[in-house]
Amino acid sequence: MIADESNKPSALSLRKVAEAQLVKTSLAEISSRPVEELLHELRVHQIELEMQNEALRQTQLALGESRDRYIDLYEFAPVGYLTLTVDGMIAEINLTAVTLLGCKRSKLMHKSLRMLVIADDQDRWVRHFMAARKLEVPSSVELEMRRGDGKVFYAQLDCVGNATTVRITLSDITQRKLIEDELRIAAAAFSSHNGMMITNPEGVIQRVNPAFTQLTGYTASDAIGKTPAILQSDRQDSLFYQQMWETLKEKGCWQGEIWNKRKSGQLYAEMLTITAIYSSEQRITHYVGSFTDITQKKEADAEIHRLAYYDPLTKLANRRLLQDRLGHAIAVAARSALFGALFFIDLDHFKALNDTRGHDVGDLLLVDVAQRLQENIRENDTVARQGGDEFVVLMEGLGNTANEAAVLAAQLGDKLHTALAAPFNLKGYEYYCKTSIGVGLFHAQDSVEGLFKHADLALYQAKTSGGDRLRFFDPAMQDALEQRSILEAALRKVVALKQLRLYYQPQLDATHQVVGVEALVRWQHPQHGVVLPEEFIPLAEDTGLILPIGRWVIETACEQIRKWEGDGLASGLKIAVNVSAVQFHQPDFVAQVQRILVASGANPARLKLELTESMLLENMKDTIAKMQAIKELGVFFSMDDFGTGYSSLSYLAQLPLEQLKIDKSFVRNISRSKNDESIVCAIITLGLGLKMTVIAEGVETEVQRVFLAMHGCHEYQGNLFSRPLPLPELEAFLKRT
Ligand code: C2E
Ligand code: MG
Ligand code: MG
């Protein structure tokens, strides 16, 4: 009988089978059978017994291996195993537990486990152990235990016991405890009063805390899955956010103040800190944003600022802020080289209003005045209230020269004066307010104190000379401005009153033949006599009065051309007329010229328009088109004062010009300045190259004429031949030559 591996019979049972077999074979049978047969049978039994013994040995071997494996598993298990006696002594301990406890096995055996627990936890352990002995179901406890080297670690003990022993599984949970601690701390931080949100690296919100909801109005379900853009207000531009992200990527954190929007739409200011969280591979895994609402603090700061720098009644800047701004304005003026102006504005008879109508009404007026002033200044100007009924306006960037600035300041001051002159409605009471204004101009070198004094003095003068007026600090400037306004008023009527005259200055060719005249306007003033164009053309250009004046000049010149037709001496002359930039840039200028030509019946070929370089630079395409259209009418063009502007030569070639006129400043310097002589020569060469005639103006001496002639100049105009003449004298001149 051969037993298979899985079903090996034990040695004992085999023996019993053999004996049973032998018993069955009765003695009778034995005696009746031959001896050989009996011996053979015994032999067979013997072999069977040997086989049974071998099977037994194999089984014992397997058992031994299995025991070793068990011991390995026990000793080197990932957790510690201990068996305690009922009184808590260590009866058995595996190698893992020995290693965890950091002691030799011999020192641990038969020792109370309690002694390895730290003093604070010993009571708890004893109570747990007693319970585990009775329970017979597993129970677990966490304790701090001390290793052989004195270090403490967190242990988890899973115990199962009975009346005789308690078996314990021991694991080191220090790492888990630390993580739990951190989590607890993080959770506590997350539930703080600061609003918090956690986003993924793409900025999508993953978590928000209750304070976030409280501050923004967005619940967790509102916010999660969205980006912080839901909070965005338009107070910061895209550049701000771009820089924020750059800092975050570079430094891993960003902090700053930011205006955001609550779910309700209300704006609020927050102090925000964003921190990037990195993985162990230094990849950003999250961003944590933490913020506090600083709106109230901001408002409080603003209120403090308002109280310190603004007038509570009118909400205008107060004297202190004005002084700051003025100091700043002077510094800016130093850099820009532009003038500014300070206006002191005082309400005439304010005291009387206060006394008769009461302070409430007085206050109303002050508030209304403040408002009107603000409505009538430019964006960057400052209005302030000095106190009482005194207001101050600060204007910057008024011009390069004192005169220019004074003109502009006078205009802006008049505007304020007029705005305040309209009636005020003070609780149904119509009040006419008169104001005195003192103006001080300032420039780089002025001081704040000095300037206040100037404006104040000017205001005093405005008041003492009757009030309801504007006065400048500088008496010369004041005079000039007054002259100017008188002149302007008179100039308005100059055409209607027929006070303009045309003088004509002859233009001669190389053979001293008069080929044309330049019409130069004069103002025949009833009191001042003949006024030269230099004194009124700039003002006329500034005020737009050049338009009617310029039209009159072209009309008069054309009528003269018409009158000279058939005149033996003058019929071949061209009349050159000066055209101002403002005049030329009128949209209907071409049509105007055409209308005048038609109305007068003048031959267009006798009319020449003098333009200056600077006016042509303004809008080249339009300019060229206009000149072309006028040229098609048959009219010619001359470039006046040539050499003083900045014409580009390539551009010059595109213009339909017939003539270049060398400016008199170069002609004057012939034989005095080599440079200017070179310029004169260059202009002549240029004119010849561009197939234009060249005329020199302001020729006063024979030397100048000879120089010009030697270099090929075509025509001449100047006092050497004749100064500008009234018509009768010109006609006499023509007869003489
Ligand atoms: P402009 O067009 O360059 O006129 C030439 C100026 O030089 C004229 O001054 C003339 O009197 C002056 N002049 C002529 N010969 C001599 C000379 O030998 N020596 C000196 N030193 N000066 C001489 P005027 O008449 O006082 O005119 C001055 C400027 O006023 C003109 O300069 C022109 O730009 C402008 N102007 C004159 N009439 C008109 C006009 O009807 N309309 C416009 N828009 N401007 C005019
Ligand atoms: Mg001219
Ligand atoms: Mg000129």
Ligand 1 centroid–CA 580 distance in Å is: 12
46: exposed, middle or buried (C-beta count within 10 Å: 0-12, 13-18, 19+)?
exposed
In a domain, 148, yes or no: yes
Co-location of 13 and 47 in the same domain: yes
Last residue of a domain, one of 245, 265, 299: 299
Q: Which residue, judged by its Cα, is nearest atom 45 of ligand 1?
A: 578
Q: Which residue, judged by its Cα, is nearest atom 27 of ligand 1?
A: 533
Which pLDDT does position 609 carry in this prediction? 98
Q: Which residue, judged by its Cα, is nearest atom 34 of ligand 1?
A: 578
Co-location of 319 and 410 in the same domain: yes
Q: Which residue, judged by its Cα, is nearest atom 3 of ligand 1?
A: 641
445: exposed, middle or buried (C-beta count within 10 Å: 0-12, 13-18, 19+)?
exposed
Spatial separation of the C-alpha atoms in residues 14 and 10, rounded to whole Å: 7
Contact 201, 286 (CB under 8 A): yes
* H or E segment to which residue 55 belongs: helix 35-75
Last residue of a domain, one of 177, 209, 241: 177
Q: Which ligand is nearest to the CA of 641?
A: 3
Given the CA of residue 719, which atom of ligand 1 is nearest to it?
A: 18
Cα–Cα distance list, 218 to 194, 223, 232, 294, 714 (Å): 15, 6, 13, 18, 86
- pTM to 2 decimal places: 0.52
579: exposed, middle or buried (C-beta count within 10 Å: 0-12, 13-18, 19+)?
buried
Co-location of 513 and 660 in the same domain: yes
In a domain, 142, yes or no: yes
Check residue 492 and report its DSSP letter.
H
Q: Say if ligand 1 is within 6 A of residue 542 CB.
A: no
Which pLDDT does position 14 carry in this prediction? 61
Ligand 1 centroid–CA 589 distance in Å is: 22
In a domain, 206, yes or no: yes
Q: Say if ligand 1 is within 6 A of residue 580 CB.
A: yes
Q: What is the CATH number of the domain that holds 231?
A: 3.30.450.20
**In which domain, by residue range, is 44 found?**
5-74
Q: Say if ligand 1 is within 6 A of residue 641 CB.
A: yes
Co-location of 120 and 198 in the same domain: no
Q: Which residue, judged by its Cα, is nearest atom 19 of ligand 1?
A: 698
Ligand 1 centroid–CA 399 distance in Å is: 26
Co-location of 84 and 69 in the same domain: no
Instruction: List strand residue ranges (DSSP E) for 663-719, in order.
Output: 693-696, 715-717
Q: Say if ligand 1 is within 6 A of residue 532 CB.
A: yes
- The mean pLDDT of the chain is 91
Ligand 3 centroid–CA 660 distance in Å is: 10
Q: Say if ligand 1 is within 6 A of residue 549 CB.
A: no
What 632-635 contacts at long range (C-beta under 8 Å, 24+ apart), as own/partner pairs, is 633/590, 633/593, 633/594, 633/597, 633/604, 634/603, 634/604, 634/605, 635/593, 635/597, 635/604, 635/605, 635/607, 635/608, 635/609
In a domain, 455, yes or no: yes
- The token duo for 606 is 């006798």
Last residue of a domain, one of 49, 74, 99: 74
In a domain, 212, yes or no: yes
Q: Say if ligand 1 is within 6 A of residue 533 CB.
A: yes
Q: What is the CATH number of the domain that holds 702?
A: 3.20.20.450
Q: Say if ligand 1 is within 6 A of residue 161 CB.
A: no
HSE-up (13 A, CA, CB side) for residue 247:
13
Co-location of 524 and 637 in the same domain: yes
Which pLDDT does position 23 carry in this prediction? 61
Pocket test for ligand 1, best of 523, 578, 640 (most atoms within 8 A of CB): 578
Which pLDDT does position 3 carry in this prediction? 40
Spatial separation of the C-alpha atoms in residues 637 and 242, rounded to whole Å: 57
Contact 438, 458 (CB under 8 A): yes
Which pLDDT does position 1 carry in this prediction? 40
At residue 503, the 3 state secondary structure works out as strand
Given the CA of residue 610, which atom of ligand 1 is nearest to it?
A: 2
Q: Say if ligand 1 is within 6 A of residue 520 CB.
A: yes
Q: Which residues make beta-bridge pairs with 161?
A: 166
- The token duo for 553 is 């000049």
Q: Which residue, judged by its Cα, is nearest atom 42 of ligand 1?
A: 578
Which pLDDT does position 614 carry in this prediction? 77
Pocket test for ligand 1, best of 503, 518, 520 (most atoms within 8 A of CB): 520
pLDDT in tens, 639-698: 999 988 777 777 888 899 999 999 999 999 999 999 999 999 999 999 999 999 999 999
Q: Say if ligand 1 is within 6 A of residue 664 CB.
A: yes
Co-location of 248 and 395 in the same domain: no
Given the CA of residue 577, which atom of ligand 1 is nearest to it?
A: 41
pLDDT in tens, 176-186: 999 988 888 88
Q: Is the dihedral of CA 459, 461, 466, 471 positive or negative?
A: negative
Co-location of 290 and 325 in the same domain: no
Q: Say if ligand 1 is within 6 A of residue 505 CB.
A: yes
In a domain, 271, yes or no: yes
Q: What is the CATH number of the domain that holds 382?
A: 3.30.70.270
Q: Which residues make beta-bridge pairs with 715?
A: 509, 695
Co-location of 436 and 541 in the same domain: no
Helices (H) and strands (E) in the chain, counts: 28, 27
Overall size of the chain counted in residues: 737
Co-location of 530 and 384 in the same domain: no
The low-confidence residues of the chain, meaning pLDDT below 50, are 1-6
In a domain, 306, yes or no: no
Q: Say if ligand 1 is within 6 A of residue 514 CB.
A: no
Co-location of 18 and 93 in the same domain: no
Co-location of 507 and 590 in the same domain: yes
Ligand 1 centroid–CA 411 distance in Å is: 29
In a domain, 61, yes or no: yes
Which pLDDT does position 190 carry in this prediction? 83
The alpha carbon torsion through 222, 228, 231, 237 (nearest 10 deg) reads -160
Pocket test for ligand 1, best of 697, 703, 722 (most atoms within 8 A of CB): 697
Beta carbons within 8 Å of 360's beta carbon, 6+ residues apart = 427
The count of structural domains within the chain is 5
AA identity, residue 165: T
